[in-house]
């Protein structure tokens, strides 16, 4: 899980300019990181590309924290 977690963190830092110190497993995308719906859609596409998976919209809507996202990606790879 650590590799996936590091890759997710790198995407958040590189693509959205979020400070690495803000990217913690329990961080909520909207409440803690201030990500809006457009940024989130871009993130989902980045995750799909980076991990070669498909994240259906109904699944993406359920992913609210970094930890949930890492666990989801782990279950799909």
**What CA–CA distance (Å, rounded) separates 23 from 43?**
14
Q: Which residues carry out catalysis?
A: 36
Q: At CB < 8 A and 24+ separation, what contacts does 7-10 make?
A: 7/50, 7/51, 8/47, 8/66, 8/69, 8/70, 8/73, 9/66
**What CA–CA distance (Å, rounded) separates 68 from 60?**
10
Structure confidence by residue, pLDDT tens digits, 8-61? 999 999 988 889 999 999 999 999 999 999 999 999 999 999 999 999 999 999
The model's confidence at residue 67, banded by pLDDT at 50, 70 and 90, is very high
**59: domain range?**
2-76
What is the number of domains present in the chain?
1
Contact assessment for residue 68 and residue 8, using Cβ atoms and an 8 Å cutoff:
no
**Strand ranges (E), the chain:** none
Q: Is the pLDDT of residue 2 over 80?
A: no
CATH of the domain at 36: 1.10.1200.10
- Greater pLDDT, 15 or 73: 73
Looking at the whole model, is its pTM more than 0.75? yes
């Amino acid at each position: 899980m650590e590799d996936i977690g590091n890759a997710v963190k790198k995407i958040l830092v590189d693509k959205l300019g979020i400070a690495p110190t803000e990217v913690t497993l329990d961080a909520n995308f909207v409440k803690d990181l201030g990500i809006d719906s457009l940024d989130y859609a871009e993130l989902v596409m980045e995750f799909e590309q980076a991990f070669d998976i498909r994240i259906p919209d109904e699944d993406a809507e359920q992913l609210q924290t970094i930890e949930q996202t890492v666990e989801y990606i782990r279950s799909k790879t």
